Structure 1
């Protein structure tokens, strides 16, 4: 199976990779989920500030995302991320579509469907902030002169630039466009259990693409569409073996 998948990747004209939290497991030291359906912490719905309630300060929400930002900044991309980055640089793969919010895939040829936890913005004036600022304050420091020529602060509430529960994943149309152009879709570290994201590889398959899955557990949600798979093995080990066959 390794030789088959390696040859497919070498011969592919356009390969798109879809990743989930399974690829980042060795980079995580806290238990958090990136999916839109898992924004719950200690029984608290973390999505309640995503719309009209976002002007209220919620200490549980703020503490949770500050903790995630801190852990992501302390940890680093693992060997799997480095291999995928090398494949991008050497044109073995063309694009990464990720459900993860950690930013470990970098910024080159990446679609972050659920956003990036390293980025924040003011819900009032839309000014952008980084995660370091959010560690110190969840309020906007943007200012302007009013009609009396007095300097006033916006003081709006910051939110992470990620998809919260009930919100639509980002860049779905762009992701779908690339699915239609792909002849190989490589799914790594995700069970593809979330809709509408799990529809993307299905649509690619219906357009003639071959689906390849690498995951600890079988991907049951789209099992009938997958052409080749490697299940039950460590993801980093699998990618290292494929990398040795490809390069």
Structure 2
């Protein structure tokens, strides 16, 4: 998509968001690629290089050492990542009252670091781990230090049970999905950023908004199966799209800026 086409999409998206009464954002891995975090299903995606079974509850239970060997490298990448311009623009849209909630498939904590407040993390957050035996919770750094000192899998200081990341693995239910779908059912616009909408039940969130008569704005670098279903489609980088949408929103609102 050219810069002109992206700007045209941003103008339409901004108008729809400002005219909405309850707009939400739905984000996937594509919003974080500019922070150096690989996505899952893109041309250079994580699952092009690794078997998705490595991120399953079955693998954790059958080979906890192998599970942690895989996950520790991914979490090291996450721990060094910083919010990019797309995260910051989305947080500003929330501050302006245009976006009411950010519902994310990501576990990278970048929305919170960018300043978003109302966040639903459908797949958890890598920043904490918990014991599968006694359920005690700890910072991720504890598991990392234990792993780096040779304790694999990392174990609970209290009961010796195996520690696991506080994220949803393949084969586990998405605990926050009910709250997300409830929000979607009362929302009249959804800004989808960086998601192929191919993972369920998370992908139901924007679809519910659309099915209830709301507007779907779809920002994704690659085409998705829902491009024809969406009201606005922007095939451009997340940071470019979100910054342009934010700029257009501010124009409509009368130039409101940070601190206004």
TM-score bracket, normalised by the shorter chain, equals 0.7 to 0.9
Runs of at least 5 residues in structure 1 that lack an aligned partner in the other structure: 143-153
Q: Which of 26, 33, 37 is residue 18 of structure 1 equivalent to? A: 26
Whether 1:177 aligns to 2:182 is: yes
Quote how far apart the aligned CAs of 1:69 are: 2.0
Matches within 5 A, 1:1-247: 1-28=9-36, 31=38, 33=40, 42-43=50-51, 45-47=53-55, 50=57, 54=61, 58-106=64-112, 108-137=117-146, 138-142=154-158, 154-220=159-225, 222-231=226-235, 233-247=236-250
- Structure having the higher strand fraction is 1
- Going from structure 1 to structure 2, the CA distance change for 1:39 and 1:116 (only over 3 Å counts) comes to farther
Indicate the SS of the match to 1:9.
helix
**Contact conserved, 1:66 with 1:134, CA < 8 A, in 2?**
no
Question: For the aligned residues, what is the CA RMSD?
Answer: 2.3
- Going from structure 1 to structure 2, the CA distance change for 1:75 and 1:102 (only over 3 Å counts) comes to same
Cα deviation code 1:54-78 (max 9, x no counterpart): 3x66322112222222221212111
Quote how far apart the aligned CAs of 1:52 are: 9.8
Rounded to whole Å, the distance in 1 between the matches of 2:208 and 2:229 is 10
Runs of at least 5 residues in structure 2 that lack an aligned partner in the other structure: 1-8, 147-153, 251-260
Greater Cα offset, 112-121 or 194-203? 194-203
- Going from structure 1 to structure 2, the CA distance change for 1:215 and 1:44 (only over 3 Å counts) comes to closer
Of structures 1 and 2, the larger Rg is shown by 1
